[in-house]
A = this chain, B = another copy of it.
Amino acid sequence: MNCLIGQSGGPTAVINSSLAGAIQAGIDFDFENVYVSLNGIEGLLHENIKCVDKDLFEKEKANDRLKKRPSSILGSCRFKLSDNLEDDQYKKIFENLKKYEISTFVYIGGNDSMDTVMKLNSYIEKNKIDWINVVGCPKTIDNDLCEMDHSPGFASASKFVNTALRQIRLDCDIYPIKSITFVEIMGRNAGWLTATSYLANYKRKKDIVNLVYLPEDSKSLDDIEKEIEEKFKEDNNLVIAVSEGFMDKDGKLENESEKSFDKGFNHPIIAGIGLKISDYIHDKLKVKTRSVELNIVQRTSFLISKTDSDEAYELGYLAIKEGKNQTNIVPILKREEKKEYKVRYSTTSPSNIANKEKKIPEAWLKSREILKEKITAYTLPLIKGEINQEFTDGIFDYIKLEDFTK
């Protein structure tokens, strides 16, 4: 019996930790062959499949090295399976699963990918297939997956964001002139990642980030202008975190952030919301402004939270372990109600995650003080620990697929 693992959706810094955990479990639980599918479900459709060389995997310390290798090493896809279970896609997929004698298939991804897991399980149920289990494994920097305390990948993205903000602040403070730096952060629908900007202020007498704007806010440009004028009483140089999904209440600025790189990859980026607010405020307040987009590296940074990486690994391991005997599950984590941060792992059904979004609790959004307190307490334990990265000849280096597959 063999197992198969694929990755889907946008990358995270720890999506390969889950892969490492799944491969290790594949070895530990005596799967004869551990296969990987390239570009998610597309690799399975087109037989773009590789086999893990178990000896190389150990020799190359791939288990450890995958934990530090950001962005989906197996490639990804944005392929949506047909709603019609009679579609030939399904026939082809299950033919290939049969051909490779796969008894457990783990699909690592976000809410869209759990839709794939759900549909494959509908096909299994409908056709009374008893030789394969299809399970999910969660990931996303957006932290919007339901059923779990937090999404693997979120904490590393947050660590990148608050580190970037501190670095940007170091630049902002050097000139004794009034200025505003807007920093645009990922998160189209939910402000989780942008809200974690507040962590940059943790235990600082002077704020690193002065204002934070989220998709959840209902604020106009005039509101922003007023808040900025108020903050200028405290500091000459302001740093303002803006979620790419922020929409001004009055719709004065056409929000073109949909054209940005993720989903709208097929259009050039015109300008993010950060730049638009920056231009608007510059014109209104006649003050120096600039806009910085944190951009792609938010999800592929070599700066990784050790806690996040360890948890992602554990979930990948569990996906194979539990998926050996059950289908239609996704391993998840809950936070224990203890003083010391600790998580408890369990499983849920992919239908509880697929096509759903977890939002920031409304109670947290009542005031910025509450949000700051809540998001800091929530995120702080998740970003703990760093990982020593690989540098060869002074250059950032990382494991390659051919290092441990045949």
Contacts and interface: CB of A to CB of B under 8 A. Distances in A.
Interface in A54-76: 69-72, 75-76
> This chain: how many copies in the complex?
2
Contacts of A167: 70-71, 296-297, 300-302, 396
A287 to B, nearest CB: 9
A296 B168 contact: yes
A168 B265 contact: no
Interface string A110-122: 0000000000000
A26 interface: no
A334 interface: no
Interface string A261-297: 1000111110100010011001000001111110111
A263 to B, nearest CB: 12
A251 interface: no
Nearest to A173: B75
B300 A170 contact: yes
A290 B302 contact: no
A395 B176 CA distance: 26
Interface in A294-322: 295-297, 299-302, 305, 307
A128 interface: no
Contacts of A297: 164, 167-168, 171
Contacts of A177: 265
Interface in A218-276: 261, 265-269, 271, 275
A304 to B, nearest CB: 11
A295 B292 contact: yes
Contacts of A164: 297
Given A164-B297, A167-B300, A396-B163, A75 B202 contact: no
A119 B404 CA distance: 62
Contact of A174 (B11, B269, B386, B391): B11
A14 interface: no
A194 B80 CA distance: 39
Interface in A8-51: 11, 39, 42
A261 to B, nearest CB: 5
Nearest to A76: B174
A189 to B, nearest CB: 20
Contacts of A300: 167-168, 170-171
A394 B161 CA distance: 12
Contacts of A146: none
Contacts of A327: none
A199 interface: yes
Interface of A: 11, 39, 42, 69-72, 75-78, 159, 162-164, 166-168, 170-171, 173-177, 179, 181, 199-200, 202-203, 261, 265-269, 271, 275, 278-279, 282, 288-293, 295-297, 299-302, 305, 307, 380, 383-386, 389, 391-396, 398
Given A76-B174, A171-B299, A202-B393, 12 more contacts: A11-B170, A69-B170, A70-B167, A70-B170, A72-B174, A159-B395, A168-B300, A170-B300, A265-B288, A268-B289, A269-B290, A384-B393
12 contacts: A11-B171, A71-B167, A71-B170, A76-B174, A166-B396, A166-B398, A179-B265, A199-B395, A202-B393, A261-B290, A267-B282, A384-B394
